[in-house]
């Protein structure tokens, strides 16, 4: 096959992928400026999109692939992962087919798709970086770091990143990182959607402290088997931490028996299932190690 024929076949294949995947992509009108994009989650009209593009809780509409539009209601949202779930007032949708990010490799071709208008738009790029689990600036847990070099035009947020087979590897969002195209992997989207369906929100634990990472004295390093902990720099009045007797200057070194070496460790221990439950927190106060039981609150 000649180079021209090879490129033509590739071009036609990508166009076919966009056309097929476009049947599972909708326009989301939920803000005053440009509409955004959503991904069909289920045949009965569940639509997953980005939280930051849903700027009102009512008067939401969804534009369908056939050009028509239907009303939609907000099921729930999670600002920390920038995910929102809508229920369209219609059925018979074509759900997207998802693929785990573990099937991707750096260098794989991918497409970012959007439907900010009546028709599907697409940009082509490659997977530029894959990494471990991470947390957003708001504390949301992301199962894997997935970065591409695709250009996300205005209105692409809430749309899919698809592989060359048209399967959705994740949800694109312009709100997760500045100047970088970062995608929420399928595993994260699935987990958040399931939680929103069950509770309407993602519950987050709350202590009411601000902390900074500090190195522990050598004697404590040897005793505890860790080099760092979290020094409490402020305690919110009437917070779970204050009610439990935590003070400015205490250093948190463990929660529920697991070491806390940096802020992400603490966030990971404050999962929603611990809200309202007493959790043992190990602290260092005046050079002495002690345990304090804190009833975890819920972050608003």
Tokens of 25: 């992509």
Regarding whether 186 and 146 lie in a shared domain, the answer is yes
Question: Quick check: 36 and 173 in contact, CB under 8 A?
Answer: no
Tell me, letter by letter, the H, E, C secondary structure of 93-117.
CCCCCECCHHHCCCCCEEEEEECCC
Name 177's Cβ contacts closer than 8 Å, sequence gap at least 6: none
Mean pLDDT of 258-283: 90
Regarding whether 131 and 211 lie in a shared domain, the answer is no
Regarding whether 117 and 36 lie in a shared domain, the answer is yes
Q: Taking 70 as the threshold, does the pLDDT of residue 67 lie above it?
A: yes
> Domain containing 75 — which CATH number?
2.40.10.120
Domain count, the chain: 2
Regarding whether 30 and 165 lie in a shared domain, the answer is yes
Active-site amino acid positions: 52, 82, 157
> Domain containing 230 — which CATH number?
2.30.42.10
pLDDT for 187-239, tens place per residue?
999 999 999 999 898 888 899 999 999 999 999 999 999 999 999 999 999 99
Tokens of 171: 């949800």
Q: Taking 90 as the threshold, does the pLDDT of residue 135 lie above it?
A: no
Tokens of 278: 């007493």
Would you state the pLDDT for residue 1?
58
Would you state the pLDDT for residue 101?
87
Regarding whether 107 and 195 lie in a shared domain, the answer is yes
Q: Please tell me the number of Cα atoms within 13 Å of 220 on its side-chain side.
A: 22
Regarding whether 214 and 188 lie in a shared domain, the answer is no
Regarding whether 291 and 184 lie in a shared domain, the answer is no
What pTM, to 2 d.p., does this model score? 0.83
Could you identify the residue written with the tokens 């190690």? 289
């Amino acid at each position: 096959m000649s180079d021209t024929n090879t490129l033509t076949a590739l071009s036609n294949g990508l166009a076919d992928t966009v056309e097929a995947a476009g049947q599972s992509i909708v326009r989301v009108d939920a803000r005053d400026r440009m509409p955004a994009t959503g991904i069909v989650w289920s045949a009965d009209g569940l639509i997953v999109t980005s939280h930051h593009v849903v700027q009102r809780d009512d008067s939401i509409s969804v534009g369908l692939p056939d050009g028509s539009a239907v009303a939609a209601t907000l099921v729930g949202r999670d600002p920390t992962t920038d995910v929102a779930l809508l229920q369209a007032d219609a059925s018979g949708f074509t759900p997207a087919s998802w693929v785990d990010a573990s099937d991707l490799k750096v260098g794989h071709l991918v497409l970012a798709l959007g439907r900010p208008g009546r028709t599907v738009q697409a940009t082509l790029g490659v997977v530029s970086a894959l990494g471990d689990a991470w947390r957003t600036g708001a504390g949301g847990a992301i199962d894997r770091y997935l970065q591409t070099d695709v250009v996300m035009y205005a209105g692409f947020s809430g749309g899919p990143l698809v592989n060359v087979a048209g399967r959705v590897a994740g949800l694109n969002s312009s709100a997760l990182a500045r100047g970088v195209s970062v995608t929420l992997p399928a595993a994260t989207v699935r987990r958040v959607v399931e939680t929103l369906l069950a509770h309407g929100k993602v519950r987050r634990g709350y202590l009411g402290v601000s902390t900074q990472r500090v190195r522990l004295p050598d004697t404590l390093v040897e005793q505890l088997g860790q080099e760092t902990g979290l020094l409490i720099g402020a305690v919110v009045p009437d917070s779970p931490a204050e009610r439990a007797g935590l003070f400015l200057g205490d250093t948190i070194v463990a929660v529920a028996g697991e070491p806390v070496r940096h802020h992400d460790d603490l966030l990971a221990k404050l999962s929603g299932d611990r809200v309202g439950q007493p959790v043992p927190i190990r602290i260092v106060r005046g050079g002495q190690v002690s345990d304090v039981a804190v009833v975890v609150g819920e972050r608003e």
